[in-house]
Structure 1
Amino acid sequence: MTAMPTNVAEPELRDWLTATTGEHIANDYDAATQLLATFDFKAKDSSSLNNQHQIASCLAPAPTTWPEPFIPLSAEAAAQHLLEAFRITRKPANYATIFVDLPTPVIVSRHQCPFCRRFTRADVRQVNDHMTRCWQNPGLRCCKTCIHHQDGSHPEDDESCTHPTGPEWEEYRFPVLHCPLWETAHPETFVAQEGEIKERR
C-alpha cells in the first residue's frame, strides 16, 4: 500500500527556496515553475491544485510607495506565504516515469451529409435522419435543387418559383417537397446520385 505523502514543513521549504532561487525571489513566475517541478500545491481555501498563477501571486514582491522599487520576498517570507495558502507535499520520486507524454493523437470518425456537405455528426443515425429532410437532397424534389427556384439572394428578387404554372410569389411557401413541377438544376449530378442510390439498394 502506498503511503500518503506528508506535508512539507517550513524549514524544508525555506531551505529548498534558498538553495534553488537564492536569498530572495527574483522572479515569481520562474520560482513557481521550479516549485511545481518538485512539489504539489493544494489550495486551502478552494479545490485548486497546482495553480501556477496562485503560487506566483504568493511569491510576488511586496509593494512600496512610488517611486521606490518593489521589494522582493525573502526565501523565508516566501515559504511562510506559501504554507499559509497551500498544503504542500513533495512529488513522488518516480514522478517523471508515471505519466505518459501528452497530447496523444485521437482519430475521430464523423459522418457527412453527401448532399449539402455541411451537416456532420459522429452518430451516423443523425446524419441519416438529416438526409431525409435535407433541402439539397434531389430525391426530395425540393425547391433548392429545382431549376425553377429563385433563391432571393439578390436584393431585387424574392424567394419564388419561376415555373409558368407554379404558384404566384404571394402564395409560394418555401420549401415545397415532392413538387410535381420539379426539374433538376444539375442533371449530370442528379443522374450520378440516382445511380449511386440504386447501387446501394
Structure 2
Amino acid sequence: MSTIPGVVAEPELRDWLVEALGPHVQDDYEATRLLLDTFDLAAKEGNSLNNPHHIATCIASTPSTNGPWTPVHTDQAAATLHAAYRITRKPANYGALFVDLPMPVVVSRHQCPFCRRFTRADIRQVNDHMTRCWQNPALRCCKTCIHHQDGSHPEDDESCTHPTGPEWEAYRFPVLHCPIWEAAHPEASGAQESP
C-alpha cells in the first residue's frame, strides 16, 4: 500500500470546489482557507508550499471596467490552480499528526565569569573572550584597577588617577598588564597585587 498521496486531478478538484464554494469564488481568502484544510498545494514553478497569499492571488477576482469586480467561476479557479500547483489530498488523520503545543528545547549557554555579560552556546567563544575580558583581573586591566576613573559622569573623562600614571592626554583605555595596577576589590577578584 502506497503512503505517498496521489495528485488530485482537475475534475476531482473542480467537483470539490463546486461542492465547497458553489459556482463562483466569492471570497478568495476564505476559499484558500477551505482548500488548505483539505489539500496540500506545492507550486510547480518555485518552492512555494501552502502559501495562502499566492493561492488567494491565483484565484482572486478580476477587475471589471464597467462596475464591481466579477467573481471567478469555479471551473476557471480549478483550472488555474491545477496549472500552477501540484495538489495532493491531506491524510485523513492530518489533525492528529501534530501536537497541541510547541516542544520545549533546552539550550546550554556558557557565560563569562568576569563580566557576566558575554554568553554563547559555543564554549570556545567564551574561552576566547575571557582572555581579553576587561573585567578579568589576571589581565591587570584598567576596569579592575582601583586607580581607574571610568568617565560615567559627563564631567569626568576616562583616566588613571594614580600619581605616576599617564596624564589624561596620554591615557589610552584599556591598558593591559599595567605595572601600577592594584585590585579594586581584592577580596572579590582573588588576584594578588604585584610586588
TM range (shorter): 0.7 to 0.9
Mapped pair 1:151 → 2:147: no
Give the match for residue 114 of structure 1: 113
Return the alpha-carbon distance in structure 2 between the equivalents of residues 155 and 94 of structure 1.
Answer: 66
- Corresponding position of 2:187: 191
Task: Please identify, of 43-52 and 176-185, the stretch whose mean Cα deviation from structure 2 is larger.
Answer: 176-185
1:86-116 deviation digits (Å, cap 9, x = unpaired): 1212122333334444521111111111221
**Match for 1:172: what amino acid?**
Y
Taking the aligned partners of 1:143 and 1:65, their CA distance within structure 2 comes to 75
Distance 2:155 2:92 in 1: 74
The alignment yields a C-alpha RMSD, in angstroms, of 2.3
**Superposed CA offset, 1:18-75 (max 9, x none):** 2112222222112111111111112121122211111111121111137x21112122
CA–CA distance in structure 2, aligned partners of residues 123 and 148 of structure 1 = 35
Distance in 2, Cα, partners of 1:76 & 1:39? 17
Distance 1:159 1:4 in 2: 69
Distance in 1 between the 2:4 and 2:103 partners?
A: 30
SS in 2 for 1:61: coil
Residue correspondence of structure 1 range 22-33 to structure 2 within 5 A: 22-33=22-33
Distance (whole Å) between structure 2 residues aligned to residue 170 and residue 192 of structure 1? 31
Counterpart residue type for residue 79 of structure 1: A
SS of residue in 1 equivalent to 2:72: coil
TM-score normalized with structure 2 length = 0.85
CA distance in 2, matches of 1:54, 1:64: 21
Mapping of 1:1-201 within 5 angstroms? 2=2, 4-65=4-65, 68-101=67-100, 103-185=102-184, 187=185, 190-194=186-190
TM-score relative to the length of structure 1: 0.83
Alignment CA distance shift 1:3-1:163 (3 Å): closer
CA distance in 1, matches of 2:70, 2:165: 83
**Structure 1 position 126, deviation (Å):** 2.1
The one-letter amino acid paired with 1:139 is A
**Gapped regions of structure 2 (runs ≥ 5):** none
SS in 1 for 2:25: coil
**1: CA distance between counterparts of 2:47 and 2:122?**
36
Equivalent position SS for 1:89: strand
Kept in 1, the 8 Å contact 2:183–2:189? The answer is no
List structure 1 runs of 4+ shifted beyond 6 angstroms: none
Q: Compared with structure 1, are the counterparts of its residues 193 and 159 closer, same or farther at alpha carbon in structure 2 (3 Å cutoff)?
A: closer
* Aligned positions, number: 191
Distance in 2, Cα, partners of 1:177 & 1:103: 48
Identity value in percent? 69
Cα distance in structure 1, aligned partners of 2:138 and 2:65 = 77
